[in-house]
Homo-oligomer: A and B are copies of this chain.
Amino acid sequence: MTPEDRFVEALQRFLPDCAGVWVGPGDDAAVVAPRPGSLAATTDLLVEGIDFLPTEEPERLGRRALAVNLSDLAAVGARPEFFLLSIAFPRQRGDDYALGIVRGAISQAMRFGTCLVGGDLSRAPSVVISVALWGQPAGKPLLRSGARPGDEIWLSGQPGRAAAGLRLAQQVSSGNPSWPSSFSEGASQLLAAYRDPDPRIGLGLWLAAHGTASAAIDVSDGLGMDAGRLARASGVRAVLERDKIPIHPALATFAEIESVDPFEWILSGGDDYELLFTAPPEARPALNEVHPEWEYSVTRVGHIEAGEGAVLRDRTGDREISHLGYDHFEEAR
């Protein structure tokens, strides 16, 4: 038996039973029985030093790798069903490191009834995690391109927390945390938002199943950039109103501690994995109803106009924000 064969045997010991999986990890390909109908599929790479800090725990990395892919399916309104997981890592990390990533990925996937069906392992000079995830749209898939002038813009949760959490994680990682002890609960909340994002599957499924949203995108690279992408795909202008955007109390406090404008993190931060979507005004009552199964707010934050770009509007005027964001392709952490 090769080390890879032994790894797959170790993995199979904690692999949960999964309906619809005819052939799971260990053969040349997986064979599954998906729900009939169309299929939504996505993939995301996480690269050490670019998408995560080298000090990150493996279980958390696995949960995060799944979460960023789950968020993509949430954005198109699809129910996640199956995933493939590949891990390339240096020998010095040890097999337990990779098994930790697998464990974390499975625990995140199980929250949404999603099954690991296969993957690949390789050596590499630094860690790279690749997930491919697919599932079934709960209705007409939500696209970036359907927003129309007159639509209103809605946002889940409170973005910017992950960017603030990253700054905290960097301080922890460098052994130099700068926040007062009175802020420890807030710090935990921001760190959790960065390290362990919660994909908005429930909201995405509800929007697709009810045909509520005209367009949607997940906020992975900053509210500014992702609002700009939705606007460009739809051929419209997105207007976000500054005083409507919800600011988490811990974000406000940490911004004060760091003497920065919290909107810097909200607009440019990235890694939020909130959903930004548009809907006609008639949808307002349904969206304002409380959905206790969602543990996050859904807030009306602006509207769509004819034109192009994305702006943040306040009493002083409009500020173009579609260039603000975190470019995972270009920048390194």
Binding site for B on A (CB under 8 A): 1-5, 7, 22-23, 26-34, 36, 38-47, 49-51, 71-73, 75-76, 78, 82, 84, 86, 88, 117-126, 128, 130, 132, 134, 137, 141, 143-145, 216-218, 221, 225, 229, 232-233, 325, 327-332
Contacts and interface: CB of A to CB of B under 8 A. Distances in A.
Given A28-B72, A33-B39, 5 more contacts: A2-B327, A7-B329, A27-B233, A36-B36, A43-B118
Q: Which 6 A-B pairs have the closest CB atoms?
A: A132-B132, A28-B75, A4-B329, A29-B42, A130-B130, A43-B84
A220 to B, nearest CB: 9
Contact of A329 (B2, B76, B118, B327): B2
A125 B49 contact: yes
Q: How many copies does the complex hold?
A: 2
A45 B327 contact: no
Contact of A143 (B27, B325, B327): B27
A43 B120 contact: yes
B128 A76 contact: no
Contacts of A128: 45, 47, 88, 124, 128, 130
Contacts of A217: 28
Chain B CB within 10 Å, residue with most, of A41, A47, A82 = A41
B132 A218 contact: no
20 contacts: A2-B225, A4-B328, A4-B329, A7-B329, A27-B76, A27-B144, A28-B42, A28-B217, A28-B218, A29-B40, A29-B41, A29-B78, A31-B38, A41-B117, A41-B132, A43-B118, A44-B86, A47-B122, A50-B122, A123-B329
Contacts of A229: 5
A117 B133 CA distance: 13
